[in-house]
Amino acid sequence: MDGLRRLLPSATHLIIFEAAGRHENFTRAASELGLSQAAVSYAIRALEEQMGVTLFKRLHRSVELTEVGARFHGDVSAGLARIQKSAEDIRAKNRMQNVTLAASTAFASMWMLPRLAKLRQDLPDVDLRIQTSVRDLDLEEEGIPLGIRGGDPSQWPRYHAAELAPEVINAVASPAFIEAHGFPETPADLTRYRLIDLEEPVRRACDWPEWFESAGLSWQPRGKRLAINDYVLVIQAVLAGDGIALGWQHLTDRQTRSGLLVPVGNHVLRTGLAFYVVWPRSRELSAPARRVRDWLIAEGQAEAGDGQGPAVQAL
């Protein structure tokens, strides 16, 4: 390699030579490479002087590769093509280790963040990037491999979907709130307490009237209300003792098990819908993305404790 370094002036001169030989025109080569025509001429002359041969015949308005120049150009073109392909493969492989997951702020904060340490332990070579949004992103348009969506997968014909968790909703309060205001034992009891409303700006979400209706009660909000448009803030308000809120169990289970939240009202709404890991049908997932998808599904099923394999819906 040291001999090659002394033989050839620079890799840049070889790149310029390849473009000039392909176009057989110094001006067009200069335009392609973002150089001046004079810079191309200088690089070719330096290469010729270094090698001791004439690589181009200079004609009136064009140039033409000499016989030795054509032979050398073929070798240089093939070598640079192999180098480019190798560099692209390395960069692509590096990019494929990065996996982006699109999700709501609530899912990212309450489901994903508590599991990040386990994900790093289980998938140490994968760089997970979480992209949050108030709406479900178009994964194809955004170039994102994986997303989390709640609802009915038959409404997403462009996506594969694998169930992560069923939609199960109960009412939750903090121990401090219960100590101060008493324990509501039935849905009817809840109507006498301060209820915190989630006002989702875009995504469809169950509200208190729907939850009470599932319990056989008709209820509409009245008087002063505490309404918040971010579910993470809703749960923070509950933890602060400001009232009772609806708890999506896949998000609040850990806080319930730790005693930070207490189920109240003795009623659970199972909507028949679920939350899913989704990915576009239009392209194959990379190996790291498939591993993240399978990891998410396994985590969801471990939480449910059903011990079954992934339920993938091909729609």
* pLDDT band per the 50, 70, 90 thresholds, residue 182: very high
Give the type of residue at 272: G
Please work out, in degrees rounded to the nearest 5, the angle formed at the alpha carbon of residue 160 by the alpha carbons of 157 and 161: 105
Instruction: Give the single-character DSSP code of 75.
Output: H
Token digits for 227? 């309404």
The arithmetic mean of pLDDT across residues 117-137, rounded, is 93
Instruction: Determine the topology of domain 97-315 in CATH.
Output: D-Maltodextrin-Binding Protein; domain 2 (3.40.190)
Residue 95 has a pLDDT of 55
Residue 220 has a pLDDT of 82
Query: Is-contact 50 7, C-beta < 8 A?
Result: yes
Residue 5 has a pLDDT of 57
Closest CA to 173 of 160, 156, 189, 157: 189
55 pLDDT more than 50: yes
Closest CA to 99 of 112, 85, 114: 112
> Helices H, strands E: what count in the chain?
14, 11
Check residues 32 and 92 and name the one with the higher pLDDT.
32
* pLDDT band per the 50, 70, 90 thresholds, residue 8: low
Give the type of residue at 203: R
Polymer length of the chain:
315
Residue 254 has a pLDDT of 94
**Bridge pairing between strands 159-173 and 312-313:** antiparallel
Residue 201 has a pLDDT of 83
* pLDDT band per the 50, 70, 90 thresholds, residue 306: very low
171 pLDDT more than 70: yes
Residue 309 has a pLDDT of 38
60-69, 153-162, 168-177, 246-255: the lowest-pLDDT one: 60-69
Residue 61 has a pLDDT of 78
Please work out, in degrees rounded to the nearest 5, the angle formed at the alpha carbon of residue 21 by the alpha carbons of 20 and 23: 65
Query: Is-contact 77 18, C-beta < 8 A?
Result: yes
252 pLDDT more than 90: yes
Residue 225 has a pLDDT of 78
128 pLDDT more than 70: yes
The arithmetic mean of pLDDT across residues 294-301, rounded, is 95
Residue 4 has a pLDDT of 52
Distance from CA of residue 87 to its chain's centroid? Answer: 25
* pLDDT band per the 50, 70, 90 thresholds, residue 64: very high
268 pLDDT more than 80: yes
* Packing angle, helices 11-23 and 37-51, rounded to 10: 110
Kindly state the percentage of the chain with pLDDT values over 90: 72
pTM of the model: 0.67
Name residue, tokens 């505490």. Answer: 226
Distance from CA of residue 104 to its chain's centroid? Answer: 12
Q: Which residue ranges does the chain devote to CATH 3.40.190.290?
A: 97-315
Q: Which residue ranges does the chain devote to CATH 1.10.10.10?
A: 2-93
Count Cα neighbours of 54 within 13 Å in the Cβ-side half-sphere: 8
Name residue, tokens 């015949």. Answer: 57
232 pLDDT more than 60: yes
149 pLDDT more than 80: yes
Q: In a 10 Å sphere around its CB, with 0-12 CB exposed, 13-18 middle and 19+ buried, how is residue 161 labelled?
A: buried
The Cα–Cα gap between 309 and 312 comes to 9
93 pLDDT more than 90: no
132 pLDDT more than 60: yes
The Cα–Cα gap between 263 and 248 comes to 11
Question: CATH code for 2-93?
Answer: 1.10.10.10
Query: Is-contact 231 238, C-beta < 8 A?
Result: no
The Cα–Cα gap between 282 and 160 comes to 10
